Structure 1
């Protein structure tokens, strides 16, 4: 059943999206115990996709992203045979499809240890992501949610390294209206599922992105993604 406004989902549709997100959370927990220095990005992405299906996904929201080291500066990088090394950041972006509805989440983790710069950038992105979540509720402009995240990154001096919008709608397609960016004209309404996913990507160095999938309400959001967001060092 479609709603009059396709951006607003029915309770049944939202439940399917929440189940897709729960599969993603369980998969991420598994990957934290699986990933090791010396594995390739492709080995990890293949395991993510295997486990998503094992947990009940009927398909993938999009081809899984696993990038490591300098390659984390590619917002939509494809996994390769690059070996994951000690000191690498690793960005994992993936989603399950459940009953035709998409999940979407991103976490950036660290292998072995982090530099002060990596920790600093991670915490800036986390602050930006939390600011976007705080700004996200029914009646707010999508532009203003993007601005809440973007202002944190710009004030920290990394504005030029945040090239994409803060988020997008999710449904039977992983990228739907509304879009949360500097050109957006949409107003958030109750029962819109949207992502909040700011990032910083420093050329020839590294990148960080953190993404949750949120259901908009009159009082804020219901976050469908429960995985930890504090920096995880394995």
Structure 2
């Protein structure tokens, strides 16, 4: 675990480049991904595109899970076929000059149920509120609480089963940690993720993740991809 939580402008630029590759790749995947493909096919294409864009590697093995498998926050892609009505969660990151990107989006294939829409909207509200709460001098615990409170008030608190975020640098998971036990305080030029999620066992899960740079006025959000629910 790296100790250097506050990054230099040069380091932040590398992280921003890595995240920009993720955005470009995600745009491509929205055109590429179709019902009938397997999770592995989509994950392989993500990795191919990131490397073609100039990434020297991947921040972590790409996550692409669909349907009920979206209940697993760190599920690995399988030969499961992506079906009409599935949610698909994609979590990916490129490495640029040793520095990691990290982003997650959840999209719907063809159709969406009322329950899927409701859960997606709660996670999106939680994620946006978390980003609003990030600022130099704010406790990591409090950012987590902002996200968690929205999910708990909506009745899904038991299904938010991980922390809200983490620092990013030469490793994809670094300090600080944004969770219920964190005693760390955000400082200017820390890159942190904000990635609340809801995971309903046997049904589906939703996670939305951006990578934000902490400033004394709020954040610079390095992730530009659309967050309103995309139905392909």
Name the TM-score class by shorter chain: over 0.9
Mapped partners of 2:197, 2:33: distance in 1: 22
Residue matched to 1:151: 149
Mapped partners of 1:85, 1:163: distance in 2: 26
Mapped partners of 1:30, 1:233: distance in 2: 15
Deviation of residue 149 (structure 1)? 0.3
- Summarize deviations over 1:81-124 as a string: whole Å, max 9, x none: 00000000000000000000000000000000100000000000
Mapped partners of 1:55, 1:26: distance in 2: 9
1:214-229 aligned within 5 A = 214-229=212-227
**What residue ranges of structure 2 are gaps of 5+ in the alignment?**
none
Deviation of residue 188 (structure 1)? 0.2
Residue matched to 1:38: 36
1:120-131 aligned within 5 A = 120-131=118-129
TM-score (norm 2): 0.99
1:84-99 aligned within 5 A = 84-99=82-97
Alignment partner of 2:165 out of 154, 164, 167: 167
TM-score (norm 1): 0.98
Mapped partners of 1:186, 1:202: distance in 2: 30
Residue matched to 2:80: 82
Say what the alpha-carbon RMSD is for the aligned residues: 0.8
- Summarize deviations over 1:150-181 as a string: whole Å, max 9, x none: 00000000000001000000000000000000
**What residue ranges of structure 1 are gaps of 5+ in the alignment?**
none
Mapped partners of 1:42, 1:174: distance in 2: 22
SS for the counterpart of 1:229 is coil
SS for the counterpart of 2:35 is coil
SS for the counterpart of 2:88 is strand
Deviation of residue 24 (structure 1)? 0.3
Deviation of residue 15 (structure 1)? 0.2
Residue matched to 1:24: 22
Residue matched to 1:199: 197
Deviation of residue 14 (structure 1)? 0.1
Mapped partners of 1:115, 1:56: distance in 2: 38
